[in-house]
Amino acid sequence: MVTVKKVYHNDKWRIGLFFGFDEDLKQRARTIGAVWSRTLRCWHLDYNAENYRKIKEVFPDHEVVKTTDDTLPAPAPGSTISHDTAPIVEAPGLNALPRPEVGEHKVEKPEPAGAKAVFLFTAGKYWVVKVPYQEPVCKALKATKGVYWNSTHKAYMVYRHFASKTKVEAILGQPGLLPAEFTEEETTQHPQGEIVVEAFSLEKKRMMVKLPNHPVLVQHVKRLAGSRYSKDNQCYLLPASPSTMENLAAFSRNFGMTLTNRLPEKYLNNRYAPNLKQVKLENALENLQRMTPQQGQTYVDALTDTMLAMNMSHNTIKNYGNAMLTFLRSNNFRNPAEISQAEVVRHLAGLMKQGLSPSTGNMLVNSLQFYYRNVLHLNRFEIELPRPKKEQKLPAVLTEAECISLFAQISNPKHTMMIMLAYGSGIRVGELVTLTWADILFAEHKIHIKGGKGKKDRMVMLPWSLMAGLEAYRSLTQSEKYVFEGQYKGEPYSESSVRQIMKRAVIASGLEKKATPHTLRHSFATHLLEAGTDLRFIQALLGHSSIKTTTIYTHLTPKGTERITSPLDRIAGELNANINLPRNYKK
């Protein structure tokens, strides 16, 4: 059910659409041009009859929250009547929407006394629960294993486990609140039906995979590289490669199901194996398309088409696209060619005023410059747009003793090899997970990093201490392509899993520093500098375009500064005895 309310946002009346976590409702809201407000926690449109007509068409079962005061505030004397001030006769239901009190940004509805938690629905491995705010209850829930707070949808996600159900219901004092549908039962109970694989007529590189409605099985298939769901065909589209079929066969064996192969002869081909670059680009483009309303589609498509033609990375497409989408939303999706330079500067100033980080501000400047320069061919914006001043922050670095303590906490040999290689070679986590055996040059004791940041290749060191371990690991795993293969055959390890390994090791070692896999890269550079390695060599190993980026490590190493004496220490022995110093002062 969608609740429709009248809200006041950004100095204008809006129509607010309130509903819980529902992907279908989100997509329908985007089709009519609704925009998400993080402040009001709702989707909203301009307050007019045309938008209310669209809401009635898209959400026929909506509910309008009425109020005793069904009139709009009268316009100020001498002001013009507009859609923000005039009542809308064509949409009588719209005038029943509540309005906030004067001077308020929004009205928070207080929780009624004795309000109880409500189970909303099941989402994959989680139950979604809405809990009225009570500080001790909420703190206890967040401290419970298997429970986390979803800030986007203002609800708690509870892992579907018997222990989680028991603890959450005890904290809330509502036994029987959550259904007895546990993930363990789904894992042990075989789903009914079969996995059917058929040819996809529209694209030979893909095949249609039809599954029974079993959450755990669906989650496995969704995680395969290149997996995409087709609403038209009511099935998943997967790359038509032998490795993908092997993974599906493994799923069918694990679940005790039958795999029915209806593909023509020689339909599967190794050339159709999922390409990592292609998969990441497709995901970035699909996410942008999903977030972009219809009125902004033309401008975002022009931006992404230009970036694809210029062979830019998926990260750049994602970051530039999101920044451009933010800019378009704040300008009501006006044509960027009609927006003046003064309006662009005002937009940047407004974001900085809201506390936006300089890095995000510079990303927005970069995206706007790219759009105006390469899409609209207006080079003047490259010079005239101001840049937020960056904050010079020093990265966290582990000492050699802390690195030893960290490695000792990892028991899995594969995980140990990954973390030690990240530190020993100084490569980025994205470069680590995409390493192939062809990149490991054992005879030369080097690693060939292909297509690193900025699409640059470079050579880095292969630590001698890992040579024997890597060769033994290769003979045990027998992976054909990737050094660190993921959960599914022929696919690389995920970056998020590496971060989780690092996070658990940091907690187990008792380190108070916030360390990530990238911290190992900073530690690698700092320890090399402390050992006397020339800064230019460190720059080449890290793959920095500018020596200025590498010089930050000179601020982290104490080797050069520990021999410098403060001028106060040099004159302390000659200070006049009349100068008051603490009694226990010693030269």
Catalytic residue among 5, 165, 220, 521: 521
User: How do strand 194-199 and strand 206-210 relate by DSSP bridges?
Assistant: antiparallel
User: Is residue 586 in some structural domain?
Assistant: no
Is residue 263 within 8 A of residue 197, CB to CB? The reply is yes
Catalytic residue among 299, 371, 488, 553: 553
User: Is residue 283 in some structural domain?
Assistant: yes
Q: What is the pLDDT of residue 83?
A: 39
Is residue 364 within 8 A of residue 323, CB to CB? The reply is yes
Domains in the chain, number: 5
| CA gap 157, 135 in Å, rounded | 17
The first and second tokens of residue 246, run together, are 């092997």
544 is annotated as an active-site residue? yes
553 is annotated as an active-site residue? yes
Tell me: do 249 and 317 sit in the same domain.
no
Specify the residue for token string 């230009």: 306
| pLDDT score of 208 more than 90 | yes
| pLDDT score of 94 more than 60 | no
Tell me: do 530 and 433 sit in the same domain.
yes
Tell me: do 441 and 550 sit in the same domain.
yes
| 3-state secondary structure (DSSP) of residue 209 | strand
What is the share, in percent, of the chain residues with pLDDT greater than 90?
9
Specify the residue for token string 């990375």: 313
Q: What is the pLDDT of residue 101?
A: 41
Tell me: do 133 and 253 sit in the same domain.
no
User: Is residue 101 in some structural domain?
Assistant: no
Handedness of CA 244, 485, 316, 321 (dihedral sign): positive
Say which amino acid occupies 46. D
- The predicted-structure confidence for 102-153, as pLDDT tens digits, reads as follows 344 444 444 455 578 888 877 777 888 988 888 888 888 988 888 988 876 7
The first and second tokens of residue 527, run together, are 């320890």
Tell me: do 144 and 208 sit in the same domain.
no
| CA gap 313, 280 in Å, rounded | 9
| CA gap 262, 187 in Å, rounded | 27
Q: What is the pLDDT of residue 104?
A: 40
Tell me: do 237 and 336 sit in the same domain.
no
- Residue 276's contacts (CB-CB under 8 Å, 6 or more residues apart) are 225, 434, 492
Specify the residue for token string 């809006």: 14
Half-sphere exposure of 38 (CA within 13 A, CB side): 3
Say which amino acid occupies 572. A
Specify the residue for token string 């041009």: 33
* Largest interatomic CA distance in the chain: 99
Q: Return the CA Rg of the chain.
A: 29
| 3-state secondary structure (DSSP) of residue 231 | coil
Is residue 62 within 8 A of residue 55, CB to CB? The reply is yes
> Could you tell me where the DSSP H helices lie in 310-412?
314-330, 341-353, 358-370, 380-384, 400-408
- The predicted-structure confidence for 314-368, as pLDDT tens digits, reads as follows 889 999 999 888 888 888 888 888 888 888 888 888 877 777 777 777 888 888 8
- The set of long-range contacts for 245-251, using a CB threshold of 8 Å and a minimum separation of 24, is 245/197, 246/489, 246/490, 247/488, 247/489, 247/490, 248/195, 248/197, 248/209, 248/221, 250/489, 251/195, 251/217, 251/220, 251/221
User: Is residue 426 in some structural domain?
Assistant: yes
E strand map for 151-244: 155-159, 194-199, 206-210, 228-230, 235-239
Residue 545 DSSP code:
S
Q: Is 41 left (phi over 0), alpha (psi -120 to 50) or beta?
A: left
Distances (CA, A) of 493 to 111, 226, 434, 436, 450: 45, 15, 8, 11, 17
Tell me: do 210 and 73 sit in the same domain.
no
Entry pTM: 0.56
- The predicted-structure confidence for 297-311, as pLDDT tens digits, reads as follows 899 999 999 999 988
User: Is residue 350 in some structural domain?
Assistant: yes
Which has more pLDDT, 254 or 560?
254
- The predicted-structure confidence for 4-57, as pLDDT tens digits, reads as follows 888 888 777 889 898 877 777 888 888 888 888 877 888 888 888 888 888 888
Which has more pLDDT, 458 or 585?
458
Tell me: do 235 and 156 sit in the same domain.
no
| Domain final residue pick, 64, 96, 128 | 96
The first and second tokens of residue 500, run together, are 């989780």
For residue 421, which of 485, 465, 472, 455 has the smallest C-alpha distance? 465
Tell me: do 414 and 519 sit in the same domain.
yes
453 is annotated as an active-site residue? yes
377 is annotated as an active-site residue? no
Phi, psi of 462 (to 5 degrees): -105, 110
Catalytic residue among 41, 448, 453, 499: 453
- The set of long-range contacts for 431-438, using a CB threshold of 8 Å and a minimum separation of 24, is 432/484, 432/498, 432/517, 433/482, 433/484, 433/492, 433/493, 433/494, 433/495, 433/498, 434/276, 434/482, 434/492, 435/482, 435/483, 435/484, 436/481, 436/482, 436/483, 437/474, 437/479, 437/481, 437/482, 437/483
Is residue 274 within 8 A of residue 241, CB to CB? The reply is yes
Tell me: do 452 and 521 sit in the same domain.
yes
- The predicted-structure confidence for 389-441, as pLDDT tens digits, reads as follows 665 667 788 888 888 988 888 888 889 889 999 998 889 998 998 898 999 99
For residue 219, which of 172, 183, 185, 173 has the smallest C-alpha distance? 183
Domain CATH for 249: 3.40.1170.30
- The predicted-structure confidence for 489-535, as pLDDT tens digits, reads as follows 778 888 888 999 999 999 988 888 888 999 999 888 888 888 888 88
Is residue 181 within 8 A of residue 122, CB to CB? The reply is yes
| Domain final residue pick, 250, 274, 298 | 274
User: Is residue 106 in some structural domain?
Assistant: no
Q: What is the pLDDT of residue 198?
A: 93
Q: What is the pLDDT of residue 109?
A: 46
What is the share, in percent, of the chain residues with pLDDT greater than 70?
81
Tell me: do 206 and 69 sit in the same domain.
no
Catalytic residue among 165, 167, 428, 522: 428
Q: What is the pLDDT of residue 558?
A: 61
Catalytic residue among 6, 415, 527, 544: 544
For residue 240, which of 257, 255, 227 has the smallest C-alpha distance? 227
The first and second tokens of residue 266, run together, are 């020689």
Q: What share of the chain is helix, strand, coil (3-state, %, to 5)?
A: 45, 15, 40
- Residue 371's contacts (CB-CB under 8 Å, 6 or more residues apart) are 299, 303, 324, 336
Tell me: do 504 and 405 sit in the same domain.
yes
Per-residue pLDDT band for 186 (boundaries 50, 70, 90) equals low
User: Is residue 92 in some structural domain?
Assistant: yes
Domain that holds residue 34: 3-96
The lowest-confidence range among 63-77, 312-326, 516-530, 560-574 is 63-77
